Amino acid sequence: MSLKPPVSDHDHIQGHSQAHISLVEYGDYQCGYCGQFYYIVKKLQQHFGDKIRFVFRHFPLEAHPNALHAALAAEAMTKYNKFWPMHDILYEHQQSLDDFSLIEYANMLGISEQQFRNDYNDPALMEKIQQDIESGLRSGVNGTPSIYINGKKYEQDYSYEYLVKYIEKLL
């Protein structure tokens, strides 16, 4: 199963555009496995440096009541160039993702409550999230997190050690 559509400028990308390895995650901020995988991604980035780029696409599940709002909060930070700092805060505070906490996290990044509320209600944010979800559905996402390495769905062990071995073979 392949990634549809491929990574583009519309994506949130961390790392070099010319990196050998492209790791795409479909994730949900309230999903416990995604929370564990967040730390694995950090370690992989440290280990592989410029050789890897990381892309995050939203896949909030309805079974998680705060997941969609958390995704909107992260998206709302994009225009301040603070998507990734918010992404990190959300995964590091998975136990507190209620609306009140989301405002607090925006404040931590220097965005006032008033400003955050204005941005947060922009319908373009929801549209972006819906596009991510649709691309995930078409790419064969069957749970969160689902990851794609160099455009192909990765269906093996999600542990750090296993991923390091798998990626090293691709370099």
Partner 1 sequence: MLKNGRQAPNFTLNATPDQQLSLSEFIGKKVILVFYPADWSAVCGSELAIINTSVALLEKYNAVVLGISVDSKWSHKAFSEKQQLRFPLLSDFEPKGAVSQLYDVYNQQQGYSKRAIYIIDENGVIQWSYLPPDEINPGVDGVLEALDKLATES
Q: Which is nearer to partner 1, 31 or 167 (CB)?
A: 31
Does 123 participate in binding partner 1 (rule CB under 8 A)? no
Nearest partner of 12 among 58, 50, 52, 44, judged by Cα = 58
Q: Which is nearer to partner 1, 22 or 146 (CB)?
A: 146
Q: CB of 142: closest distance to partner 1 in angstroms? A: 4
Does 148 participate in binding partner 1 (rule CB under 8 A)? no
Does 126 participate in binding partner 1 (rule CB under 8 A)? no
Binding mask 60-79 for partner 1 (x = CB under 8 A): -xxx-x--------------
Cβ atoms of residues 146 and 22 within 8 Å: no
Candidate segments 8-16, 84-92, 106-114, 128-136, binder of partner 1 by CB under 8 A: 128-136
Sheet holding 52-58, edge to edge: 12-14, 52-58, 21-27, 146-149, 152-153
Question: In 10-163, at which residue ranges do the beta strands (DSSP E only) sit?
Answer: 12-14, 21-27, 52-58, 146-149, 152-153
CA atoms within 13 A on the CB side of 78: 19
Q: Interface with partner 1 by CB under 8 A: which residues?
A: 1, 59, 61-63, 65, 130, 133-134, 137-143, 146
